Amino acid sequence: MSLTEVRAAIAAELERVGRPAEALSLIAVSKVQPLERVEAVLQQGHRVFGENRVQEAAGKWPELQERFGKVELHLLGPLQSNKARQAMELFDVIHSVDRAKLARALARLAGELGSCPDLFLQVNTGEEPQKAGVLPADLPALVEECRALGLPVIGLMCIPPVEEEPSLHFALLKKLADRHGLDKLSMGMSGDYISAIAQGATHLRVGSAIFGGREAG
Ligand SMILES: *Cc1c(COP(=O)(O)O)cnc(C)c1O
């Protein structure tokens, strides 16, 4: 695949399900990719990228933005409170808020910095012990805490368990978002972004289908 093919597949599915193209943001997930591949996608005019680690992103995006202009950057991976300041300075959107302690750190820093990235709450829809994300049962309390702190929570994010049908998890995430009056849904990766579109995704996080596999050089 390539950026052009992914864009074409998205456009076809949007058309099929009758959703407008503006409803969807394609995040090109550039983590661990060789720089030439990232530059090639920038050269094609794409300006929305996702990274998993604050450190890795800090090592490449300031310089790339000097050369290519402003890029909308999304943090997708787990965030430690002690990296929160750096993350807030670098990223426009954070998809992985999943606990009250982190929410409080973000709120304190937002006060100091005078601004805050848009936030998604990550939900562990499969209730997998090793996976990040707030459990569905604990989501209402986290939403309430974030709202009390005045944080700009715009939606929910999930990563379905590898062995399960992703559309069930996408449907659950949509239901939870509706229940809390949140209208953005960060869901759909290289293997399942087409099915996420029909389920109401607003932010697709696509890496290997755009850039190629991450393991092979
Ligand atoms: C790596 C990653 C992606 C992209 O994965 P692909 O399968 O390469 O599309 C999306 N979201 C998160 C949270 C990731 O860590």
Tokens for 39? 């530059």
pLDDT confidence bin for 61, thresholds 50/70/90: very high
Task: Tell me, using a 6 A CB cutoff, whether residue 76 lines ligand 1.
Answer: yes
Q: Which of 29, 48, 120, 215 to mutate to test the pocket of ligand 1 (most atoms within 8 A of CB)?
A: 29
Q: Which residues have CB under 8 Å from 95's CB, separation 6+? A: 50, 74, 75, 76, 120, 122, 157, 186, 203, 205
Domain spans of the chain? 3-19+32-208
Tokens for 99? 């606990």
Tokens for 32? 């661990």
Q: In the chain, how long is the greatest CA-to-CA distance?
A: 47
Tens of pLDDT along 23-40? 899 999 999 999 999 999
What mean pLDDT comes out for the span 9-16? 97
Tell me: pLDDT of 215 over 80.
Answer: no
Q: Structurally, what CATH architecture does the domain formed by 3-19+32-208 represent?
A: Alpha-Beta Barrel (3.20)
Atom index in ligand 1 nearest the CA of residue 206 equals: 9
Tell me: pLDDT of 3 over 50.
Answer: yes
Tell me: pLDDT of 150 over 80.
Answer: yes
What is the 166 CA–ligand 1 centroid distance (Å)?
A: 14
Three-state DSSP state, 215: coil
In which element (H, E) is residue 143 found?
A: helix 139-149
Q: Which of 52, 124, 157 to mutate to test the pocket of ligand 1 (most atoms within 8 A of CB)?
A: 52
Tell me: pLDDT of 201 over 50.
Answer: yes
Q: Which residues have CB under 8 Å from 196's CB, separation 6+? A: 166, 170, 185, 187, 188, 204
Task: Tell me, using a 6 A CB cutoff, whether residue 52 lines ligand 1.
Answer: yes
Of 69 and 23, more confident: 69
- DSSP type of residue 26: E
Identify each DSSP E strand in 43-195 by its residue range: 48-51, 72-75, 93-97, 118-122, 153-157, 184-186
Tens of pLDDT along 160-195? 999 999 999 999 999 999 999 999 999 999 999 999
pLDDT confidence bin for 214, thresholds 50/70/90: confident
Q: Whose CA is nearest to atom 4 of ligand 1?
A: 207
What mean pLDDT comes out for the span 135-149? 98
Task: Tell me, using a 6 A CB cutoff, whether residue 207 lines ligand 1.
Answer: yes
Tens of pLDDT along 85-120? 999 999 999 999 999 999 999 999 999 999 999 999
What mean pLDDT comes out for the span 11-33? 96
pLDDT of residue 217: 43
What is the 148 CA–ligand 1 centroid distance (Å)?
A: 31
pTM for the model stands at 0.97
What mean pLDDT comes out for the span 137-142? 98
Atom index in ligand 1 nearest the CA of residue 214 equals: 8
